Chain A
């Protein structure tokens, strides 16, 4: 069965520092991968997606992610974090079965220190 692992439950960085959030997936075929962000009391906002092609994908708010098939990873990065990036981040993969069911990781809560 497909699964997504986000090894870090909480991460704290200083404003202006670089950020990398880890995501590993288990999937037999080529995965469709997503990163979503959730601010308190809000729904999930799509940051970026990978379907095929270039393994480095750019998203909104200055985020990017790199798909590495050999490592079954899809890590999210940002070169310089802003205080407004404090939120919870979810990695997700589309399950097989043809109906676009998303399987989410447990999430990583990001805190940003001034």
Chain B
């Protein structure tokens, strides 16, 4: 597509439930990134993919968070046993490659945990 597409745009769920967030990057972009934007923490880097590989998972806040990317395209960020502190906007970005190319962001998924 023309831009980075994220779904759903909004998600409200109960504490303890699992959620899955989806990101469809710009066609041809090999690098994909996940960030989290919250009131207390600002914009935080979570994880990146080069192709289907995620070499560094250290930015994920806890082991309840996981991400995968298949076919070098769509990525999903999964949060298990959600907690209220997981409430945030989750932003996905993509770039042509890892060579300091500008990252293009989607509109994000606003996650609210009740």
Interchain CB contact under 8 A, A101 and B45? yes
We find that the number of chain B residues with CB closer than 8 angstroms to chain A is 27
Which residues of B sit under 8 angstroms from A51, Cβ to Cβ?
Answer: 100
Let me know if B106 is at the binding interface, CB within 8 A: yes
Which residues of B sit under 8 angstroms from A57, Cβ to Cβ?
Answer: none
A-B contact count (CB 8 A): 57
Which of B43, B55, B93, B108 lies in contact with A99, CB distance below 8 A?
Answer: B55
Contact surface of B with A, Cβ cutoff 8 Å: 4, 6, 31, 33, 35, 42-43, 45, 48, 50, 55-56, 59, 91, 93, 95, 98-108
Interchain CB contact under 8 A, A106 and B42? yes
Interface residue range, chain A = 20 to 34
Interchain CB contact under 8 A, A45 and B43? no
Which residues of A sit under 8 angstroms from B100, Cβ to Cβ?
Answer: 32, 51, 94, 100
What's the least CB distance linking B80 to chain A, in Å?
A: 24
Q: With A100-B31, A101-B45 given, is the CB distance from A46 to B107 under 8 Å?
A: no
A-B contact pairs, 14 of them (CB 8 A): A32-B100, A36-B105, A43-B91, A43-B105, A46-B102, A51-B100, A94-B100, A95-B45, A97-B56, A99-B48, A100-B33, A100-B48, A100-B100, A100-B103
Most buried by A among B31, B33, B42, B95: B42
Let me know if A53 is at the binding interface, CB within 8 A: no
Most buried by A among B4, B31, B93: B93
Which residues of A sit under 8 angstroms from B106, Cβ to Cβ?
Answer: 43
What's the least CB distance linking A93 to chain B, in Å?
A: 11
Which residues of A sit under 8 angstroms from B42, Cβ to Cβ?
Answer: 104-107
Let me know if A56 is at the binding interface, CB within 8 A: no
